[in-house]
Chains A and B, each alone.
Chain A
Amino acid sequence: MTNASHEVAKGPHHASGAAPSALSAHSIVKRFPGVLANDSVDFDVLPGEVHTLLGENGAGKSTLAAMLCGLYQPDSGYITRNGERIALSSPRAGLHHGIAMVHQHFRLVERFTVAENVILGSRDLSYKLNRSELEDKVAAVADSYGLPIEPGATVGELSVGQRQRVEIVKALYQGAEILLLDEPTAVLVPAEVEKLFENVHAMTRAGKSIVFISHKLGEVVEISDRVTVLRNGRVTGHVSGRGAADTKELARLMVGRDIELTTQRASHATGHEVLQIRDLSLTVNGVSVLSDISFNVHAGEMVGIAGVAGNGQRELADTIAGLISPTSGSVAISGSLTTDRGPIHARELGLAYVPEDRLGMGLVPSMSILDNLLLTRDRHIVVDRTTVRPEAARLIEQFEIKANGPDHVARKLSGGNAQKVLLARELSGGRTATKLLVVCSPTRGLDVGAIETVRALLDDARSAGQAILLISEDLDEVMSLSDRIFVLYRGSVVYETPGESAQLSTVGAAMAGLQPEGKS
């Protein structure tokens, strides 16, 4: 971000403490069965300010935001808007008061056009819809904030960053003065994050207030005017002034101890080839998804696959796991072909797999943590819960999973905690000793404390001689852990580099499809 944008964004409101807050929460309490999600939380945001909510997984950030926009109602406490007490009984009431939320999962109808999505729910439109008139109207709002969107495009065909922009335009179109952004950067690549931050600055310049939720400390420091830290539903710290906090301090406020993120690489010589991929190609419905991919992963080595989501990562992982049969080429684990043999065969050869889609493929949402664990453990006809229960309890403790115990239903976990359960199951080994670990976005949505744990565990697994394939959209993560890095773009490996000499700019450019100066 440039210095200029900092100065402009620092509006006059920050100087005086007397400016009335645009929106404040007073002693908010929210209870869910078994958890106190918010425990007398006070929070406020000024006009033209970015106020960040920071906290671990399950700290209660999304819950607080949901109450600020009218999606949930607090059990006690109240909310004021420009100093006046308001009742937010529904999201519509929130919108009426100029409060809009951009959710972690986008709330867009994929089959609709951008314009249709933006106007959905607006009351001030005539009964009859005139397509071109609407598109002009939507484009006008977007342009006034310098947000480039194409009103006639179908949302299902847009990139994640573009969809997010549609969400923001939608909020602005509805007259939002206060925008709640719940982990907006979790799904974006670096260039898109930059773009988002520019948009945020454009909005604060126009006097809008932004409530920003994130785990990524670097970003928090960059964008925030103020930071409020939540832990276990309670406010545990405040930092005021842009750039006043450093990431170390924020991390300590967040988890209550110092955090060291592993950035190790294998120092020892790596062993034999565990995963061998030869000329792998996959065509789905006539579209080439993977083309001519060949590489090996050795025992004790971590290979990172970087790339923007949707460039074939998911299919690559599913093919290795035996869930998809490739159109041509082969996959072998420890010399045995797994192609066309199905997922069980791959698991028997020592594969552990953390898929990208946690609640869809990774866990059974309606089952308990214990039963989800049993999926890779138990092979008896009669389910034997007693022997696995202690292990489940130990894993919950080790991974600091916020749950009521092994019988907690997976669906009721916060996003980060569900991810931890999946990781705990796969990293702790199944029926066969793990030789190859394929992990997709293992730390997405996790807080720094959990990221530290996960990275340390991945590192341990590598030291123990397991071969690891790390597929992640988080470039920092791939860069800091991998021994070798491949960049996947439109289904092909377009760039390859050893981990220690990797350059952020070069890898980033390759991810965006720009041809780097020759393959290294």
Chain B
Amino acid sequence: MNGNIWVLASADSVAIATTLILAALGALFTERAGVLNLGIEGILLTSAISSFLAADSSGSIWLGLIVGSLVGALLAGIHAVLSVVLRANQIVAGLALVIFGTGLANFLGKPAEGKTVTTIIKPLSFGPLSDIPLIGPIVFRQDPITYASIVIAIVSSLYLFRSRPGLELRATGDDPATVDAQGLSVASIRIRYTLFGGLLVGLGGSWLMLAQSAAWHQAATTNGVGWIALALVVFAGWRPMRLIFGAILFGFTLQLPFTLQAEQITFIPSALMQMLPYLATLIALIALSRPSTRNKLGAPKSLGIPFVRDER
């Protein structure tokens, strides 16, 4: 067995985890406010291609990241209008967003199909630190956004559990009527966090494009990462710190087929391995559908339920 391949695989897992952390954090903020946005996959795709086009035409990766993130917030805005302002069924609105986002990405990406970005986000190097065996490549040879995503997750955890607005956010997801009675606007809180969630998902999509794939392929760029992010939020019990570890674990599973192939380990069919994340998503959704498990996992109590003041 080639030890080096496994070190690279671990480093890769951390890298893949970046999109997962960002997209799942986006979903987490949205869901903590009580809004279920199933459209993550659509947002990821659209922001990926937007960031590609922006980076490609301007030659600036940073502009790509900014445009991609803003497009993410914009698409989430559609969901916010539908589900918070118009109080539409959030599952239907979310699924519509997946279809819309996929179509839009497909349309925008036509001229770019198969094209490669000229400048990609490069890993940082910390000199000798990066050369430490094992730890070096895993911990000290990632790109800035990967480090940023972990910092964002940690800050999110502090924000959620140790700050006044975080308290209000959690209360909105659990019991909007109480928040309303306190004179806070449930709609404004929900819209703000849905937009912010979309921004994070958009950043994740842009990173996936500009650091990971480099070439645009409509069908293969996101590869279902959006759905996995949704499952990850459930498994992490809506807690950012747990989400980091979950993301790395999922990241490892996602790259495992390639490593196993490289290692010529063939007794596990790679199709089976590739199926694992989707199986996880399925399990998460089943868990979500049972009220008692939902509660045990720590789901926001009014997740997916529109708030109407006069309803009784």
Contact = CB atoms under 8 A, between A and B. Distances in A.
Interface in A402-448: 411-412
B178 interface: yes
A127 B179 contact: no
16 contacts: A71-B309, A91-B181, A94-B183, A107-B178, A109-B174, A110-B301, A111-B170, A120-B167, A120-B182, A121-B168, A121-B179, A122-B164, A125-B164, A128-B163, A128-B164, A412-B312
B174 A107 contact: no
A116 B162 CA distance: 11
Contact of B183 (A91, A125, A128): A91
A156 to B, nearest CB: 10
B177 to A, nearest CB: 6
A71 B174 contact: no
Given A101-B181, A111-B170, A121-B183, 16 more contacts: A94-B183, A95-B182, A107-B175, A107-B178, A109-B178, A110-B174, A112-B174, A120-B167, A120-B178, A121-B168, A126-B164, A127-B165, A128-B162, A128-B163, A411-B312, A412-B312
A92 interface: yes
Contact of A103 (B168, B170, B171, B181): B181
Given A109-B174, A110-B174, A112-B171, A120 B162 contact: no
B184 interface: yes
A128 B166 CA distance: 10
B183 A109 contact: no
A90 interface: yes
A241 to B, nearest CB: 33
A103 B164 CA distance: 24
Nearest to B292: A285
Interface string B238-271: 0000000000000000000000000000000000
Contacts of B180: 91
Contacts of B183: 70, 90-95, 121
Contacts of A71: 181, 309
A109 B163 CA distance: 16
Given A92-B183, A107-B181, A411-B312, A116 B167 contact: yes
Interface residues of B, number: 22
A129 interface: yes
Interface in A181-236: none
Interface of B: 162-165, 167-168, 170-171, 174-175, 177-184, 301, 309, 311-312
Contacts of A121: 168, 179, 182-184
Interface in A102-117: 103, 105, 107-112, 116
A92 B185 CA distance: 10
Given A103-B181, A121-B183, A411-B312, A129 B174 contact: no
Contact of A107 (B167, B170, B177, B312): B177
Contacts of B175: 107-110
Given A109-B174, A109-B175, A112-B171, A91 B182 contact: yes
Contacts of A116: 167
A519 to B, nearest CB: 37
Nearest to A95: B183
Interface residues of A, number: 30
A120 B312 CA distance: 23
**Interface majority SS on B: helix, strand, loop or mixed?**
helix
B184 to A, nearest CB: 6
Nearest to B182: A121
A129 B167 contact: yes
A91 B164 CA distance: 19
A262 B175 CA distance: 41
A126 B40 CA distance: 34
A456 to B, nearest CB: 28
Contacts of B177: 105, 107
A218 B309 CA distance: 33
Contacts of A119: 164, 167
B163 to A, nearest CB: 6
A107 B178 CA distance: 5
A359 B180 CA distance: 22
A109 B174 CA distance: 7
A127 B163 contact: yes
A330 B168 CA distance: 48
A103 B182 CA distance: 12
Interface string A59-101: 0000000000011000000000000000000111111000001
B174 A120 contact: no
Contacts of B179: 120-121
Given A127-B165, A129-B163, A92 B178 contact: no
B257 to A, nearest CB: 40
Contacts of B181: 71, 91, 101, 103, 107
A70 B312 CA distance: 18
A93 B182 CA distance: 10
A520 B18 CA distance: 70
A129 B301 CA distance: 23
Contacts of A92: 182-184
A128 to B, nearest CB: 6
B133 to A, nearest CB: 41
B128 to A, nearest CB: 38
Nearest to A126: B164
Contacts of A125: 164
Given A93-B183, A411-B312, A120 B165 contact: no
B90 to A, nearest CB: 18
- The 5 A-B pairs at the shortest CB distance, nearest first, are namely A92-B183, A121-B182, A107-B178, A107-B181, A91-B183
B33 to A, nearest CB: 14
A411 B164 contact: no
Given A91-B181, A95-B183, A120-B179, A127 B174 contact: no
A198 B164 CA distance: 33
Contacts of B168: 120-121
